Structure 1
Amino acid sequence: MSSSLTNLHDAVASLEPQMGYICKVSGTTGLSLTVISGGKEAYAKHFGFRDLEAKEAPDGDTTYFIGSVTKGMMAVLVGILVEEGKLGWSTRGASILPELQDSFNGRGSEITIADLLPHRTGVARSDALWISRAGNLLFPKSEGLRTWAAQPVVRDFRSGFLYNNYAYDVVGQIIEMAE
């Protein structure tokens, strides 16, 4: 490990008591933290339990349900691609994903990244169609866009906030295509 990675590792490791305290006071059962710098792992540690009843420690294969935290991550990724000139906030989704072109009563061709991120498409929320109560996906990722494009428009386009997780699946596909 290079000296800069070692220094970063040591700096993050010095925060371990605070991470343990935050987990305790917030009721967080388990936490896995990895810090990557320059494409190399500088720090990785697991705290608490992946299964509290069985007292099983988390590891690198532990899956966490982190919910909407990923929405902020997606927006950051889009921002990086905007800075790199690979996308623009006004990029129309249909220019990258042609399947959007004729969706949503003909408005699909107008939907931009700036519409998708703040939930301004007017498309109905329909999480029950794709995620079970246990948090498992009910159909393959490849069906997400087609399923979202079949949902009804229940609010005027760009007229306000209407929460819809599918929009972030679309943003994810746009990111994949733009990279």
Structure 2
Amino acid sequence: MLPRVRNVILGLAACVCAAPVIGAPAQADPLLEETVEFTGTVLFLQTKVPGLVIGAVRNGETAVYGFGEATDSGEAPDGDTVMRIGSITKAFTGQVLAALAADGTVSLTQRLGTLAPDLGSGKDPNVAKIRLIDIATQSAGIPREVPHEPGPKDNPFKPITREAFAGWLAENDLLYPPGTGVLYSNFAFDLLAIGLSEAAKTPYPELLKEHVTGPLGMTDTGFTLNDDQKSRLMQGHGFDGKALPDVPTGEVIVGSGGLYSTPKDLLRWMQWHLDRLAEKDAETRMLDHAAYLVRDNLNPVQGMDESGHMDAMSLAWVVMMPENDRPLILQKAGGLQGTFSYIAFAPTRGIAAFVAINQFDFAAATTMAEVVNEMITSLAPR
């Protein structure tokens, strides 16, 4: 972009955005700060959402910038802003699976029914063949959602229960044989959380804290909020621009969604993923990042390309193979209660990035994924 145009954009941003906040150590990389700030500025002006927060980590240094309003008070989001991360939760569930496989609690090819017998049989004999790896790679043949009646406004997720899961499996055919196609499924990842909880004989939220958030010091990442966290929660907005209530997802929707987090916590998590040659947790990282299911000859492939073309599936991560200047990227998007978010990392290049907007807007969500992928490319060219 021409310098004059860039200066105009930054000048306009100063009129409409709160001052950005940098969550970086001393002497952070000036290029990283410059790139994140400018990318966020352009994206905020382009999408016209109420609020936006963007961050990146490279070589252990981080930068976080917020724009617009996170709450009705008019404050801009920053690194400590709490937000719903929606289906990015699935990548956490994949990491828990990797950790339990690494320590021998489960195996990737273990069948779900051996851990949760009520979920391991049904009308379709293929139900008994569903393996943990099939669920984690979105290839189990399970629909996106379990069919259910609408819940009450203050608890719309109430009808989504383990009993509803078992009932559907008992009465319906899978959409395709496990391992032969890919179809995005929230239903499946909640089954995975149930199976992992049964294997470890531990409630899933405790399992997540034990293996992921606790060791990494992610104190703002969890399924429930304390009063301080509620005061920092970013207000989500619907497609009509109206504010949406914050509704917890309950005890069942923990594998597919439901997590709250902050940009600082997410970038700390990303740093763990980028530390790929470290001896600690090496097995877990290897299992988590491996590409298990390549797109070739899969039928169907649906719901996986909105944030970038899926070339393969890792444990919940969508794998995008290197193309032109873009390096290998693992990515995941999420959306819940008026917040869209996207996170991606280039494991061989030591860079990761995160962005969230606080309004449901599909065009904006597509744009922000494209912009983050481009930002990673510019900071880690092939």
**Selected match of 1:92 from 94, 111, 130:** 111
1:121–1:157 Cα contact (<8 Å) kept: yes
1:23-59, CA deviations, whole angstroms, 9 ceiling, x for partnerless residues? 32333833387x9xxxxxxx99773355377523347
1:125–1:165 Cα contact (<8 Å) kept: yes
1:18 to partner: Cα distance: 4.2
Q: Distance in 2 between matches of 1:171 and 1:140?
A: 19
**Selected match of 2:184 from 163, 168, 172:** 163
1:99 to partner: Cα distance: 2.0
Q: Which has the higher contact order (CA 8 A, sep 6+)?
A: 2
Correspondence 1:25-40 to 2 at 5 A: 25-27=42-44, 29-31=51-53
TM-score by length of structure 1 reads: 0.63
Secondary structure of 2:53's aligned partner = strand
Q: Distance in 2 between matches of 1:55 and 1:140?
A: 33
1:126 to partner: Cα distance: 2.8
CA 1:117/1:11 → structure 2, altered by over 3 Å: closer, same or farther?
Answer: farther
Look up the equivalent residue of 1:165 and give its one-letter code. Answer: N
Look up the equivalent residue of 2:141 and give its one-letter code. Answer: G
Look up the equivalent residue of 2:194 and give its one-letter code. Answer: Q
Higher helix share: 1
1:53-74, CA deviations, whole angstroms, 9 ceiling, x for partnerless residues? 752334756323x343333332
Unaligned runs of 5+ in 2: 1-23, 201-206, 208-382
Which residue of 2 is the match for residue 174 of structure 1?
195
Which residue of 2 is the match for residue 149 of structure 1?
166
Q: Distance in 1 between matches of 2:181 and 2:140?
A: 8
1:111–1:121 Cα contact (<8 Å) kept: yes
1:11 to partner: Cα distance: 6.2
Secondary structure of 1:85's aligned partner = coil
Asked if residue 124 in structure 1 is aligned to residue 143 in structure 2, the reply is: yes
Q: Distance in 2 between matches of 1:154 and 1:105?
A: 7
Secondary structure of 1:72's aligned partner = helix
Secondary structure of 1:31's aligned partner = strand
Unaligned runs of 5+ in 1: 1-8, 36-42
TM-score by length of structure 2 reads: 0.34
Q: Distance in 2 between matches of 1:57 and 1:46?
A: 9
1:49–1:58 Cα contact (<8 Å) kept: yes
The count of aligned residue pairs is: 162
1:130–1:138 Cα contact (<8 Å) kept: no
CA 1:18/1:70 → structure 2, altered by over 3 Å: closer, same or farther?
Answer: farther
Asked if residue 71 in structure 1 is aligned to residue 71 in structure 2, the reply is: no
Look up the equivalent residue of 2:188 and give its one-letter code. Answer: A
1:169 to partner: Cα distance: 1.0
2:138–2:182 Cα contact (<8 Å) kept: yes
Which residue of 1 is the match for residue 270 of structure 2?
none
Root-mean-square deviation (CA), in Å? 4.2
1:16 to partner: Cα distance: 5.0
Secondary structure of 1:68's aligned partner = helix
Secondary structure of 2:142's aligned partner = coil
1:168 to partner: Cα distance: 0.9
Q: Distance in 1 between matches of 2:25 and 2:118?
A: 48
Secondary structure of 1:114's aligned partner = helix
Asked if residue 10 in structure 1 is aligned to residue 53 in structure 2, the reply is: no
1:150 to partner: Cα distance: 3.1
1:93–1:113 Cα contact (<8 Å) kept: yes
Once the two structures are overlaid, the 10-residue window that deviates more, 146-155 or 161-170, is: 146-155
Correspondence 1:95-110 to 2 at 5 A: 95-110=114-129
CA 1:11/1:102 → structure 2, altered by over 3 Å: closer, same or farther?
Answer: farther
Identity of aligned residues (%): 22
Q: Distance in 2 between matches of 1:128 and 1:20?
A: 43
Higher strand share: 2
